Amino acid sequence: MCGIAGYVGPRNAKTVVLEGLKRLEYRGYDSAGIAFLDQHDLLHIARVKGRLHNLTDRFRNDLDSAPAAIGHTRWATHGVPCEKNAHPHRSADGEIAVVHNGIVENYQELRSQLQGNGYVFASDTDTEVIAHLIHYNWKSRKTSDLVDAVRATLRKLKGSSAIVVLSTLRPDTLIAARLGNAGGVVIGYGENEMYVASDIPAILKHTCRVAFLENGELAVVTPSGAAYSDSSGTPIIKHPVKIEWDAAAAEKGSFAHYMLKEIFEQEQSLTDTLRGRIDISRNQVRLDMLNMTDSVARRLSGVTIVACGSSYYAGLLGKQLIERLTGLHVEVDFGSEFRYRHPVLDENRLVLAITQSGETTDTLAALEEARERKAFTASIVSVVGSQAARVSDGVIYMQVGPEIGVATTKAFTASLVDLYLLAVFLGTARGTLDTNRRAELIRNIATLPRLVGKTLESMQHSGVIEAVASKYTDRANFLYLGRGLHYPIALEGALKLKEISYIHAEGYPAGEMKHGPIALIDERMPTVVIAPKDSLHEKMVSQIEQVKARNGAVIALATQDDTETAHKVDDVVWLLNAPEMLTPILAAIPLQLLAYEIAVRRGTDIDHPRNLAKSVTVE
């Protein structure tokens, strides 16, 4: 959603903030803007519609330094993308500038009240009410304390919001606040300089010492540090934590796109995911931060997985793994559906959120619901210190570093590995896995990173994905079929293609094809079939026959040397022979590459797909 960057300190704040915004481009946006104080403490604002370079171009030859600035990339919710609706928004007297992520649900009511008090609005956004309301509170309370005015304003806002304020009334200061779950607010610590951002990558180049704002908290940030308080104004002591991310991991390097870099990183990223988690000699899976004792694991009556998008699909595979290894019943729900369906929960249920960003509003709301119902909550998360990690009883980090591509790749496969580890962990604690089976599962997962590396190498050398992509780039629709463990991978493959190539694609459980989607099959409709040599292989072959009988083109993901299947289909992508529970992870890789290569040929903006944002922080 919206990206926020802010800086106070001795360097040129405009440059630091624009650079920070550049690193947030992956969030997706439709306009951008910056507010800064000049050397005379006068406030200036520049805003543009469209890409960030439209804004940075304006400052190309600008050498005047600025001691403080805030910047924003906007993903429109209220008001169309245009210059007047771009952030920062300012108060009528021009002294207060605000950037905002989230939605002010009662903005109409506040807008009318402010209009009644003579305020004139210059935009169609909900954000503008925040700027005017701060001004109103500051004036009407006759307080010289801008922080009080911001706090009074926050008390009036309904919904979830993250804001940063810059004002001539308090130069050299940024006021940042978080209300609800509308995305994170990260405070970065430098040497006599401080940063504020919605996401860590915006400031990672400068510092890895950060603190996070919780719901209701406010930070007064000056070059020498930050003072924190809660919604009532009571001071809070917060110590910065060290983020173990490598700044180079947030760079594209020699790759054409972040997405491609992240696909090819997966041998390493999965090695990192497994680091410290498996001990072959002791036949152990360690998930220390899950904070779950064996007796809690034994008491569990079931598991509910909540997630959105690709993380939801990961959850569908997780369900099968956990059910196979633990005998526990697992249900999977979309974060956006969960809390509205009156779920049945008790304290013996594990509610597991899967969220790469740890900031997805719908998933966080589901977690909140589970906490209220006293369930044991855990999260599989990538971003260290994100909201999901902080509010859960336990956490399993993906340990893959920052993922910049909007279309998730390495975080998706990491979440599958975390789910596999969780299944083994629960099976061990509950006594449903005997020693030999556990040893086999642990040995198998240890081989996964190398299998992923080999898969990537073979895709690269054979050129098969490029060839398939070139053949089908012009198609308007795709069908993806999988069964059992591969059904969630079919869903994910279709989502990848949709997201970055804008081709309509549907993932389907293969057995369901004859109940409807078969009507779509003709010579223009390619079907991607995940058909490795496993227990369901024969059923998949029969689906292939059914598509071929209707003149549909079939692209099969088949186990190496399965020439029989290869002869039946139009194109074949070989999968390595691997243990059954690892094959879905290996199958995800060629589907990521296929979506990427098709998108390249269609000339789409792969790292910034239209309308999409890396983390969805609105409902």
Which residues carry out catalysis? 2, 614
**Closest distance of CB 190 from ligand AGP, Å:** 28
Residue 617 in the binding site for ligand AGP (CB under 6 A): no
Residue 266 in the binding site for ligand AGP (CB under 6 A): no
- The whole-angstrom distance between residue 189's C-alpha and the CA centroid of its chain comes to 24
- Using DSSP's 3-state secondary structure scheme, residue 299 falls into helix
Q: Are 309 and 498 in contact (CB under 8 A)?
A: no
Q: Report d(CA 604, CA 599) in Å as an integer.
A: 6
Residues within window 390-449 making contact with ligand AGP, judged by CB under 6 A: 406-408
Q: Report d(CA 263, CA 381) in Å as an integer.
A: 18
Residue 309 in the binding site for ligand AGP (CB under 6 A): yes
Structure-token match 């019943």, residue found: 329
Among 91, 269, 615, 617, binds ligand AGP (CB under 6 A): 615
**Closest distance of CB 355 from ligand AGP, Å:** 3
Closer to ligand AGP at the Cβ: 311 or 501? 311
Q: Are 101 and 617 in contact (CB under 8 A)?
A: yes
Closer to ligand AGP at the Cβ: 442 or 489? 489
Please identify, among the stretches 58-66, 305-313, 423-431, 438-446, the one whose residues bind ligand AGP according to the rule CB under 6 A. 305-313
**Closest distance of CB 185 from ligand AGP, Å:** 17
Among 125, 127, 273, 363, binds ligand AGP (CB under 6 A): 363
Among 73, 304, 357, 413, binds ligand AGP (CB under 6 A): 357
- Using DSSP's 3-state secondary structure scheme, residue 470 falls into helix
Q: Report d(CA 361, CA 181) in Å as an integer.
A: 6
Q: Report d(CA 578, CA 485) in Å as an integer.
A: 13
Burial 143-159 (b: 16+ CB within 10 A, else e): eeebbebbbbbbebbeb
Residue 181 in the binding site for ligand AGP (CB under 6 A): no
Residues within window 482-511 making contact with ligand AGP, judged by CB under 6 A: 499
Amino acid identity for residue 426 in this structure: L
- Using DSSP's 3-state secondary structure scheme, residue 537 falls into helix
**Closest distance of CB 619 from ligand AGP, Å:** 13
Closer to ligand AGP at the Cβ: 56 or 181? 181
Q: Report d(CA 104, CA 129) in Å as an integer.
A: 9
**Closest distance of CB 60 from ligand AGP, Å:** 32
Nearest-CA neighbor of 484 among 537, 428, 445, 559? 537
Nearest-CA neighbor of 350 among 416, 292, 302? 302
Residue 355 in the binding site for ligand AGP (CB under 6 A): yes
Residue 361 in the binding site for ligand AGP (CB under 6 A): no
Among 123, 269, 320, 356, binds ligand AGP (CB under 6 A): 356
Q: Report d(CA 259, CA 268) in Å as an integer.
A: 15
**Closest distance of CB 418 from ligand AGP, Å:** 12
Residues forming the site for ligand AGP (CB under 6 A):
308-311, 355-357, 360, 363, 406-408, 499, 615-616
